């Protein structure tokens, strides 16, 4: 389908409007397709996310059981769960305008040709009248070429097929990041629980050391009292012997 115009006039404006409408149509189709593709990707990602969260939750419960049975740590569950975060599937997005690439829907071609005029030349009565074509200027034409609907549909299909690989790569990259985040979060939680366990053991060790010091001090005090009592008993015995001899 072609629309022609000679100069920058109302016809030129019509051509520009037709071109804008054609481009807007292609952009609208591409936006709809991209939003639909993003929705499908997020739905698939949610399945992986559900499985990953379930696996992470089970791993957390196993860690909790290990440390819970080993040590009585206050707030251990809260500490281990706070690091379990994931890259939500809601953050999965496709690069706008780069998945489906369509050909330009409309092209404007400018052409020009000579403008001629027929000129009558009168000669003598014996030579008669002669007509000549003379160039009096140049005419410039603009042609707007817009594909029909069958061609449009074919172009859309051709623009969709290459985007499938990009969509697969987008989902794969998100999945790799998601699994890595889950693994790192579990590892950090495990390391934090080990630190908490070591801190608790050190605390208990210090408490035992303090109790031992108290016990040793008590024993020393008892030994000192025992020694004092023995000295007192010895003194009493000696005094008793002196009294007996005096009699």
CA 110 to chain centroid, in Å, comes to 46
CA 92 to chain centroid, in Å, comes to 6
Nearest by Cα to 81 from 236, 212, 188, 157? 188
Q: What is the pLDDT of residues 200-242, one digit of tens each?
A: 778 877 888 777 777 777 777 777 777 777 777 776 676 666 6
Q: What is the pLDDT of residues 112-159, one digit of tens each?
A: 666 666 655 555 555 555 555 555 656 666 666 666 767 777 777 776
Mean pLDDT (whole number) for 182-210: 78
What is the reported pTM?
0.47
Asked if residue 90 and residue 63 are part of one domain, the reply reads yes
48 in a structural domain = yes
pLDDT level of residue 190 (50, 70, 90 thresholds): confident
Asked if residue 156 and residue 67 are part of one domain, the reply reads yes
Give the total residue count for the chain: 247
72 in a structural domain = yes
pLDDT at position 132 is: 59
What domain range includes position 169? 7-106+148-197
Nearest by Cα to 202 from 73, 79, 62? 73
Q: What is the pLDDT of residues 46-75, one digit of tens each?
A: 777 777 777 777 777 777 777 666 666 556
Asked if residue 120 and residue 50 are part of one domain, the reply reads no
Q: Work out the percent of the chain whose per-residue pLDDT is above 90.
A: 0
pLDDT at position 4 is: 42
Q: Using the Cα atoms of residue 55, residue 59, residue 65 and residue 68 in order, give the sign of their dihedral.
A: negative
Main-chain dihedrals φ then ψ at residue 83, nearest 5 degrees: -90, -10
221 in a structural domain = no
CA distances (Å), origin 71, targets 35, 91, 167, 202, 240:
51, 38, 48, 12, 61
Asked if residue 128 and residue 41 are part of one domain, the reply reads no
208 in a structural domain = no
CA distances (Å), origin 135, targets 4, 111, 120, 123:
22, 17, 14, 21
User: What DSSP line would sit under 171-196, residue for residue?
Assistant: HHHHHHHHHHHHHHHHHHHHHHHHHH
pLDDT at position 9 is: 61
Domain boundary among 145, 175, 205: 145
Two tokens at 223?
């030994």
Rounded (5°) CA angle 108-110-116: 145
Q: Quick check: 79 and 193 in contact, CB under 8 A?
A: yes
Query: How many Å apart are CA 133 and CA 119, to the nearest integer?
Result: 6
Asked if residue 164 and residue 116 are part of one domain, the reply reads no
For 77-220, strand residue ranges (E) read 107-122, 129-145
Asked if residue 95 and residue 42 are part of one domain, the reply reads yes
Answer yes or no: is pLDDT of 37 > 70. yes
Asked if residue 114 and residue 55 are part of one domain, the reply reads no
181 in a structural domain = yes
63 in a structural domain = yes
Query: How many Å apart are CA 196 and CA 163, to the nearest integer?
Result: 49
Asked if residue 172 and residue 60 are part of one domain, the reply reads yes
2 in a structural domain = no
Count: domains in the chain: 2
Query: Which of the residue ranges 29-33, 39-43, 79-83, 183-187 would you say has the lowest mean pLDDT?
Result: 79-83
Query: How many Å apart are CA 142 and CA 108, to the nearest integer?
Result: 7
Main-chain dihedrals φ then ψ at residue 132, nearest 5 degrees: -125, 150
Answer yes or no: is pLDDT of 43 > 60. yes
Asked if residue 21 and residue 113 are part of one domain, the reply reads no
Asked if residue 62 and residue 24 are part of one domain, the reply reads yes
Mean pLDDT (whole number) for 87-100: 58
52 in a structural domain = yes
Two tokens at 122?
């009168």
Asked if residue 137 and residue 51 are part of one domain, the reply reads no
Q: Is 137 helix (H, G, I), strand (E, B) or coil?
A: strand
pLDDT at position 6 is: 44
Q: Is 54 helix (H, G, I), strand (E, B) or coil?
A: helix
Q: What share of the chain is helix, strand, coil (3-state, %, to 5)?
A: 70, 15, 15
pLDDT at position 120 is: 58
Asked if residue 119 and residue 60 are part of one domain, the reply reads no
Two tokens at 147?
């594909």
């Amino acid at each position: 389908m072609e629309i022609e115009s000679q100069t920058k006039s109302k016809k030129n404006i019509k051509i520009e409007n037709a071109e804008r409408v054609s481009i807007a149509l292609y952009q609208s189709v591409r936006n709809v397709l991209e939003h639909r593709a993003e929705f499908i990707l997020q739905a698939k990602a949610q399945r992986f996310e559900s499985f990953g969260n379930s696996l992470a939750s089970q791993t957390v419960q196993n860690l909790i059981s290990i440390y819970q049975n080993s040590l009585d740590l206050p707030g251990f569950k809260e500490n281990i769960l706070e690091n379990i975060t994931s890259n939500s599937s809601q953050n999965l997005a496709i690069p706008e305008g780069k998945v489906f690439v369509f050909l330009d829907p409309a092209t404007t071609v400018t052409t020009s040709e000579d403008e001629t005029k027929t000129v009558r030349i009168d000669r003598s009565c014996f030579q008669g009248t002669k007509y000549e074509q003379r160039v009096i200027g140049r005419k410039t034409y603009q042609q707007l070429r817009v594909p029909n609907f069958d061609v449009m549909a074919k172009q859309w299909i051709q623009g969709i097929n290459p985007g499938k690989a990009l969509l697969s790569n987008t989902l794969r990259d998100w999945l790799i990041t998601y699994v890595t985040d889950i693994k790192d979060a579990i590892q950090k939680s495990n390391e934090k629980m080990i630190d908490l366990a070591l801190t608790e053991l050190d605390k208990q060790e210090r408490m035992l050391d303090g109790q031992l010091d108290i016990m040793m001090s008590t024993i020393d005090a008892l030994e000192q009292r025992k020694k004092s009592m023995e000295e007192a008993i010895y003194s009493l015995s000696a005094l008793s012997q002196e009294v007996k001899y005096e009699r």
